[in-house]
Amino acid sequence: MLAPVALPAPSFTAVLFGLSGCLVDFGAQARTLRSNDGKSFVSQDAKAFSTPTPGALNALKSLKLQGIPCAWIEEYPADIAQQLAVSLQGLVQPTPTPNNHWPAPDGCWQALMALNVAQLDGCVLVSGDPRLLMAGLNAGLWTVGLASCGRLCGLSPAQWEALSDLQRERLRGRATLELYAAGAHSVIDHLADLESCLADIALRRLKAEKP
CATH number for the domain that contains residue 168: 3.40.50.1000
Is residue 132 included in any domain, yes or no?
yes
Q: Is residue 159 part of a domain?
A: yes
Q: Give the number of domains in the chain.
A: 1
Greater model confidence, 171 or 39: 171
Q: Is residue 160 part of a domain?
A: yes
pLDDT in tens, 135-167: 999 999 999 999 999 999 999 999 999 999 999
**Is 8 within the bounds of a domain?**
no
- Domain membership of residue 99 (yes or no) is yes
Whether the model pTM is above 0.75? yes
- 211 in a domain, yes or no? no
- Residue 5 confidence (pLDDT): 41
Q: What is the pLDDT of the chain when averaged over all its residues? A: 92
Q: Which domain holds residue 188?
A: 14-206
What DSSP letter does each residue of the chain carry, written as one string? -PPPPPPPPPPPSEEEEETBTTTBSTT-GGGGGB-TTSSSBS----GGG-PBPTTHHHHHHHHHHTT--EEEE--S-HHHHHHHGGGGTT-SEE-PPPSS-TTSTHHHHHHHHHTT---STTEEEEES-HHHHHHHHHHT-EEEEESSSSTTT---HHHHHHS-HHHHHHHHHHHHHHHHHTT-SEEESSGGGHHHHHHHHHHHHHTT---
Q: Is residue 1 part of a domain?
A: no
Instruction: Check pLDDT > 60 for residue 57.
Output: yes
- Please report whether residue 48 resides in a domain: yes
Higher pLDDT, 43 or 50: 50
